[in-house]
Amino acid sequence: MDTTHSTRSLSANLFFLFLLLSSNLLTFFLSSFSSCYFNPSTTTTSTTLSFDDYSASHLPPEFLAVTSPQLLPLGYSVNFDSDTIHPPVGHPCTLFANDLNRYMSYSVNGSCPDDELLAQKLLLKGCEPLPRRRCRPVVSPDYVEPFPLPLSLWSTPSDTSAVWTAYSCKNYSCLVNRKRNKAFDDCKDCFDLEGREKTRWKSGGGLDFSIDEVFATKRPGTLRIGLDIGGGSGTFAVRMKERNITIVTTSMNFNGPFNNFIASRGVIPLYVSISQRLPFFDNTLDIVHSMHVLSNWIPTKLLHFLLFDIYRVLRPGGLFWLDHFFCVEMQLEVYVPLLESIGFEKVKWAVGRKLDRGPELGEMYISALLQKPLKQSF
Ligand SMILES: *[C@@H]1O[C@H](CO)[C@@H](O)[C@H](O)[C@H]1NC(C)=O
Ligand SMILES: *[C@@H]1O[C@H](CO)[C@@H](O)[C@H](O)[C@H]1NC(C)=O
Ligand SMILES: *[C@@H]1O[C@H](CO)[C@@H](O)[C@H](O)[C@H]1NC(C)=O
Nearest protein Cα to ligand 2, atom 8: 174
Confidence of residue 221 (pLDDT cuts 50, 70, 90): very high
Give the mean pLDDT of 309-333: 97
Domain membership flag for residue 72:
yes
Mean pLDDT of 325-330: 95
The torsion region of residue 159 among left (phi > 0), alpha (psi -120 to 50) and beta comes to alpha
Taking 60 as the threshold, does the pLDDT of residue 277 lie above it? yes
Taking the C-alpha atoms of residue 313 and residue 278, their distance in angstroms, rounded to an integer, is: 8
* Cβ of 243 less than 6 Å from ligand 3: yes
| pLDDT score of 9 | 43
Ligand 3 pocket member 198 (CB < 6 A): no
Residue 143 falls inside a structural domain: no
* Pair (31, 70) in one structural domain: yes
Ligand at minimal distance from the CA of 246 is 3
**Residue of minimum CA distance from atom 10 in ligand 3:** 244
Are 310 and 255 members of one domain?
yes
**Per-residue pLDDT band at 267 (split at 50, 70, 90):** very high
Q: Which domain holds residue 267?
A: 151-371
**Model confidence pLDDT, tens digit, residues 123-157:** 999 999 999 999 999 999 999 999 999 999 999 99
C-alpha 104/C-alpha 338 separation (Å) is 40
The domain tally of the chain equals 2
Which ligand 3 atom minimizes the distance to the CA of 243?
A: 13
- What is the residue-averaged pLDDT of the chain? 87
Three-state SS for 122? helix
Q: 218 and 113 in one domain? A: no
- 296, 335 contact by CB (below 8 A): yes
Please tell me the distance between residue 264's alpha carbon and the centre of ligand 3 in angstroms.
21
Say how far apart CA 130 and CA 46 lie, in whole Å: 22
Let me know whether 189 and 280 are in one domain.
yes
Among 136, 166, 190, residue at a domain's last position: 136
Shared-domain flag, residues 132 and 279? no
Instruction: Please calculate the CA angle 271-275-278 and round it to the nearest 5 degrees.
Output: 65
- Indicate if ligand 2 lies below 6 Å from the C-beta of 168: no
160 lines ligand 2 (CB under 6 A): no
- Identify whether 240 is part of a domain: yes
CB 372 within 8 A of CB 343: yes
Is 203 among the domain residues? yes
- If you measure from the C-alpha of residue 178 to the centroid of ligand 2, how many angstroms do you get, rounded to a whole number? 12
Domain for residue 144, yes or no?
no
Q: Above 60 in pLDDT, residue 4? A: no
CA of 239 to the centre of ligand 3 (A): 13
Q: Confidence band (pLDDT; 50, 70, 90) for 57?
A: low
The pLDDT value given to residue 51 = 46
Look at ligand 2, atom 4, and give the residue with the nearest C-alpha: 174
Whole-angstrom Cα distance, residue 34 to residue 255? 37
DSSP letter at 205?
Answer: B
Which is more confident, 17 or 227? 227
Q: Do 192 and 278 belong to one domain?
A: yes
52 and 119 together in one domain: yes
* pLDDT exceeds 80 at position 256: yes
Res. 59: pLDDT tops 70: yes
Give the residue, by CA position, lying nearest to ligand 2 atom 7. 174
Distance 186 CA to ligand 2 centre (A): 20
Contacts of 30 (CB under 8 A, 6+ apart): 17, 61, 64, 65
Report if residue 376 sits inside a domain. Answer: no
Instruction: Determine the length of the chain.
Output: 378
What is the structure's pLDDT at 357? 83
Would you say residue 142 lies in a domain?
no
Are 199 and 306 contained in the same domain?
yes
Q: What is the pLDDT of residues 280-300, one digit of tens each?
A: 999 999 999 999 999 999 999
Residues 34 and 64: beta-carbon distance below 8 Å: yes
Give the position, in ligand 3's atom list, of the atom nearest the Cα of 244: 1
Using the atom order of ligand 2, give the atom closest to the CA of residue 169.
5
> Do 174 and 278 reside in the same domain of the chain?
yes
pLDDT at 229 over 90: yes
For residues 128 and 120, the answer to whether their CB atoms sit within 8 Å is no
- CATH number of 214's domain: 3.40.50.150
Residue 26 confidence (pLDDT) above 70: no
User: What are the pLDDT digits (tens) for 359-374?
Assistant: 888 899 999 999 999 9
170 lines ligand 2 (CB under 6 A): yes
Q: How confident is the model at residue 377 (pLDDT cuts 50, 70, 90)?
A: low
For residue 25, pLDDT beyond 80: no
Q: Which of 239, 244, 245, 246 to mutate to test the pocket of ligand 3 (most atoms within 8 A of CB)?
A: 244
Residue 237 Cα to ligand 3 middle (Å): 15
For a mutational test of ligand 2's pocket, the pick from 167, 170, 176, 255, i.e. the residue with the most ligand atoms closer than 8 A to its C-beta, is: 170
Per-residue pLDDT for 356 more than 90?
no
Q: Is 171 in the pocket of ligand 2 (CB under 6 A)?
A: yes
Residue 141 lies in a domain: no
Q: Is the CB of 220 under 6 A from ligand 3?
A: no
What is the residue with the minimal CA distance to atom 14 of ligand 3? 243
Same domain, 124 and 155: no
The model's pTM: 0.85
Task: Using the 3D structure, point to which of 85, 106, 136 is the last residue of a domain.
Answer: 136
- The tens digit of pLDDT for each residue in 179-216 reads 888 777 888 899 999 999 999 999 989 999 999 999 99
Question: Do 123 and 165 share a structural domain?
Answer: no
Q: Is the pLDDT of residue 351 over 70?
A: yes
- CA-to-CA dists, residue 339 to 217, 227, 346, angstroms: 20, 19, 10
Q: Which of 67, 101, 136 finishes a domain?
A: 136
* Same domain (yes/no): 119, 155: no
